[in-house]
Amino acid sequence: MSGKNHILLSWSSGKDSAWSLQVLRTSSEYEVVGLLTTFNEVADRVAMHAVRRELVEKQASAVGLPLWSVPLPWPCSNEQYEALMAQMCAKAVAEGIEGVAFGDLFLEDVRAYRERQLRGTGLQPIFPLWGLPTGELAREMIAAGVKAKLTCVDTQKLDRSFAGREFDETLLADLPAEVDPCGERGEFHSFVYAGPMLNEVIPVVVGEQVVREQFLFADVVPAELVTR
């Protein structure tokens, strides 16, 4: 036993959750023992990011942690969501888990919601990246070797041409001034396919794009599925 508190990490498949894992692995207080991901069970994809389950499974394998998947019906009411998460929390506590970490950066309402959700469950909410300057954080991730594709763009906040692009210094330079460098206000979401927290690269290509309401989704596809 390490003596550290065993925690789950809320895992969206994107750069902020991946970097949270990188930070938490240096912690003297916490040990991440699983990745917690909610899936749209109809599409079999990560909620909001729309990343295929098989790619999240590849990420979990590459970081060496079990995937705790929570299937969500579609459509899913807030009541249904909270009931399913309450079941997951009870299971986690029963298995000796003491907290859940989130990759949130500065949105106070989101943090308050997480804290309310875990209140009384026996699980501590943990925010390893909270308050870090997002411009510096984005550049630190890229410099450390994090590689990610933008899987979703809110076209009311960011031009649709950003969908499918690489999260790199060129992208940061191209972002409008009003867009957060980490996309914290929902401007964009990402999928991490390489980085110091992964023990191997996950080969991917960007496939077709789909529009749903104001969101443009770029399908990230495992490279082996693409016929040459």
Per-residue pLDDT 10s for the chain (228 aa) are 468 999 999 999 999 999 999 999 999 999 999 999 999 888 888 977 789 999 999 999 999 999 999 988 888 888 888 899 999 999 999 999 999 999 999 999 999 999 999 999 999 999 999 999 999 999 999 999 999 999 999 999 999 999 999 999 999 999 999 999 999 999 999 999 999 999 999 999 999 999 989 999 999 999 888 755
* Other CB atoms within 10 Å distance of the CB of residue 120: 9
- Please state, in angstroms and rounded to a whole number, the distance separating the CA atoms of residues 190 and 169: 15
Smallest Cα–Cα separation from 218: which of 145, 167, 146?
Answer: 167
Domains of the chain: 5-126 (3.40.50.620), 134-225 (no CATH)
pLDDT at site 225: 81
Tell me the C-alpha distance between 49 and 43, whole Å: 12
| Secondary structure element (H or E) that encloses residue 174, with its range | helix 169-174
> In the prediction, which pLDDT does 1 show?
46
Rounded CA-CA distance 187/105 in Å is: 14
Contact (CB, 8 A) for 102 and 127 = yes
At residue 227, the pLDDT reads 56
Structure confidence by residue, pLDDT tens digits, 179-226? 999 999 999 999 999 999 999 999 999 999 999 899 999 999 998 887
Buried b (16+ CB within 10 A) or exposed e, 37-70: bbbbbeeebbbbbbbbbebbebbbebbebebbbb
Say what the pLDDT of residue 152 is: 95
- ω into residue 73 within 30 of 0, thus cis? no
